Amino acid sequence: MHNAAKTADELVGLVKAYNPKTNEKMIRAAYDFGRKMHEGQFRHSGEPYFSHPIEVAAILAEQQLDDATIVTALLHDTIEDTRASYSDIEREFGSEVAELVDGVTKLTNLQLNSSETKQAENFRKLFMAMSKDMRVILVKLADRLHNMRTIKAMRPEKQGKKSRETMEIFAPLAGRMGMQWMREELEDLAFKVLNPEGRASIMRRFITLQRETGDVIQKITGDMRLELDKAGIQAEVFGRAKKPYSIWRKMQEKELSFNRLSDIYGFRIITDSEQDCYLALGAIHGRWRAVPGRFKDYISQPKTNGYRSIHTTVSGRDGKRVEVQIRTRQMHDVAETGVAAHWSYRDGVRSENPFAVDPARWIAQLSEQFDAEEDHEDFLEAVKLEMYADQVFCFTPKGDVVKLPRGATPIDFAYAIHTRIGNSCVGAKIDGMRVPLWTRVKNGQSIEVIRAQGQTPQATWLDIAVTGKAKSAIRRSLREVDRARFVKLGQELARSAFAQVGKRATEKALRTAAKNMRLSGADDLLARLGSSELTGREIVQSVYPDLAPKQGEQIDAKRAVVGLEPGQSFDRAPCCNPLPGERIVGITYRGKGVTVHAIDCARLSEYEDQPDRWLDLRWHEGNHPAVYDATLDLTIGNGAGVLGRICTLIGEASANISDLEFLERKPDFYRVLIYVALRDVAHLHSLMSTLEADSDVAAISRYRDESVPRPAEKSA
């Protein structure tokens, strides 16, 4: 599996083997383009960098994927790490490939293991990228797999970080998508880094076991083939030892020693038809004793990612338990490649696999419940549960199937049907028997929810529920019940927090804080403050951020832009006055250097027919001096000392006022333009946020004067 292609011929050969109609020219062009772009770049191991995209493309070719995915793999690091741009790739390879490469680049930039709130936000972006085109995540998973296979070349702390991220995010994601082989290999590679002693001890015990019992796999495979032949069933039988990490996890979960652990070996029977699956099951159970409670029929009840198979555990030779999975060839393709089966080719044609779940539908289902979450932590909890959870299938009294994660309770069942049913639940019956609400539900049980008028969720339910949907609905309901009490307490806490920095917790200031913290309003903010979900410091900081200049070396304003020719000078366009941190573009003038515009400047339309004058520029990242002018358009109350207070606030925010211009003077308000010198766009937003919180500021916006005449052309 690991001897991947090194040359363009070998890669094309790999693809042609399953897709003779492949666009060979495009794959070769992508190979040459990628090699040229990555020229002179090397990996930590010292190999040329381009060896990595080739290996990623080969991993995807092993999954028999379409040309666009293979080409994306070859180009997946070009936008991020080379001089190639989105438009270069679109021009050479079309918009489908450019979109995919751009999607992979954005995923690479996500910090998935950062702080909780940021992590939830990034998970949301991850799911958005997946819902646009699932192939983006297939390339990302193959990219991660190759990085994990070659992780030894990285620095030790980087190895640990990558391995934890793999274990927490990418391995469960591969599992959720039905790509079991990918999940197992990712887990095992991460396990090797995170717990080398644990893995080595399992490998040692395996060798001892093999010495004592001989080749168990071969013996049992032979016995199974014999039984199937006797029953006249056409089928293939495969046996294998489970991966070290999978064994380790079972030992931890069940608190068993290695010797007492069952399921060290797994066997697969691949049949020609669904009917043969059930005949094979009969043959196996006829010869070996089935272990009670270990039988699952995912053929009649498929998992949400399309997985179908019959699972049973039987007592084999010497009372050793072995796990058996029985499925057809098509079911097997989905079990191995999961949603990737949607893009696979078989025998040279794009195969329509009836068992492959439509990826768009799968991800839409997954995203639906998360979109309803207003709370970042709830969202994150729901995502992680959805990815890690094994499923159990329960029935309503009418016989409808409800899928829940393993360990779910009747409360989760009630909320899975409808929030209203969950909120009014007072008890439950399982298979007709009244049970406590903390009972864990099992596969195939029928559950009836007992409801009562006027019932509301209890705080203890949070410890009982396991699904993200139930937990967030309970929290929401508890917040409503205690809301009035929390709002009142929040008002006191806010007053005290603002007083500590010499400010008042006005309605306006609280509304601004709520807006900056993406909450629905001042009451929501106060309720969260009163219930300790937010601190007073966080709220004050969102309105009056600490704007003291950062320590460290400042960037010279003359050299603040990256992408200019040596010796080329630049001016900021007076029509849009771009600030460091904003996306920018340069327009060249003969004899005048370059004028830098904000990417959304209306003036740029005047140069649309002169593409050779456009320059791709960006600001230097880092600490800029407060010398970049911007104009604020303020409508303020006409009262004693108001303008003076506004000027003081601007001074406190480390921004210098260079000019003031009155546009309108009315008996009740002034409209005034204030010209300020700032560090960057973050400084601008912080200053506007501070001013907006003042109760005498009726309106505030950034002012841009697009009537400024454009610079006259000079002859060279």
What 3-state DSSP class applies to 42? strand
Cα-flanking dihedrals φ and ψ of residue 463, to 5°?
Answer: -80, -20
φ/ψ of residue 603, rounded to 5? -65, -25
Q: What are the Cα distances from residue 217, in Å, to 32, 237, 242, 269, 607?
A: 45, 11, 11, 13, 71
Residues 367-385, mean pLDDT to the nearest whole number: 54
Do residue 613 and residue 641 come from a single domain? no
Query: In 225-362, at which residue ranges do the beta strands (DSSP E only) sit?
Result: 235-241, 265-271, 289-290, 296-297, 310-315, 321-328, 345-346, 349-350
Nearby residues of 248 by Cβ (< 8 Å), 6 or more positions away? 191, 195, 198, 199, 202
> Of these residues, 62, 80, 165, 448, which one is catalytic?
80
pLDDT digits (tens, 9 = 90+) for 155-201: 888 898 889 888 877 887 787 777 788 888 999 999 999 888 888 88
81, 377, 523, 538: which is the annotated catalytic residue?
81
Q: Where is the domain boundary, 301, 327, 350?
A: 350
Is 681 part of any domain? yes
**Residue 80 bears catalytic tag:** yes
By CB atoms closer than 10 A (0-12, 13-18, 19+), residue 1 is exposed
**Residue at which a domain ends, from 163, 194, 225:** 194
- How much of the chain, in percent, has pLDDT values that exceed 70? 82
Instruction: Return d(Cα 470, Cα 480) in angstroms, integer.
Output: 16
In a domain, 657, yes or no: yes
Flag whether 301 is in a domain. Answer: yes
Domain co-membership, 157 together with 32: yes
Give CA 51 to chain center in angstroms.
27
What confidence tens digit (pLDDT) does each residue in 199-223 have?
Answer: 888 888 877 777 766 677 888 899 9
**Cβ 386 vs Cβ 305: under 8 Å:** no
Lowest mean pLDDT among 128-132, 362-366, 533-537, 698-702: 362-366
Which H or E run contains 584?
strand 584-589
Alpha carbon distance 212, 529 (integer Å)? 63
Task: Kindly state whether residues 49 and 190 are assigned to the same domain.
Answer: yes
* Domain presence at residue 530: yes
Q: What region does 552 belong to: left with phi over 0, alpha with psi -120 to 50, or beta? A: left
- Is pTM beyond 0.85? Reply is no
Task: Quote the pLDDT of residue 105.
Answer: 81
Q: Which domain holds residue 575?
A: 557-619
What average pLDDT does range 138-163 have in this prediction? 90
User: Which of 50-64, 261-275, 278-292 bottoms out in mean pLDDT, i.e. has the lowest?
Assistant: 261-275
User: 83-106 as b/e, with b when 16 or more CB fall inside 10 Å?
Assistant: ebeeebbbebbeeebbbbbbbbbb
Name the DSSP class of 456: -
Q: With a cut of 50, say whether residue 77 has pLDDT above it.
A: yes
Residue 622's region, left for phi above 0, alpha for psi from -120 to 50, else beta, is left
pLDDT of residue 547: 36
How far is the C-alpha of 276 from the C-alpha of 651, rounded, in Å? 80
- Does one domain contain both 344 and 226? yes
Active site residue 81: yes
Burial (CB < 10 A; 0-12, 13-18, 19+), residue 476, is middle
Q: Which of 350, 385, 417 is the last residue of a domain?
A: 350
Which residues lie closer than 8 Å to 72 by C-beta, 6 or more apart?
97, 100, 101, 104, 135, 139
Closest by alpha carbon to 579, among 613, 544, 625, 548? Answer: 625
248-266 tens-digit pLDDT: 877 776 656 665 555 678 8
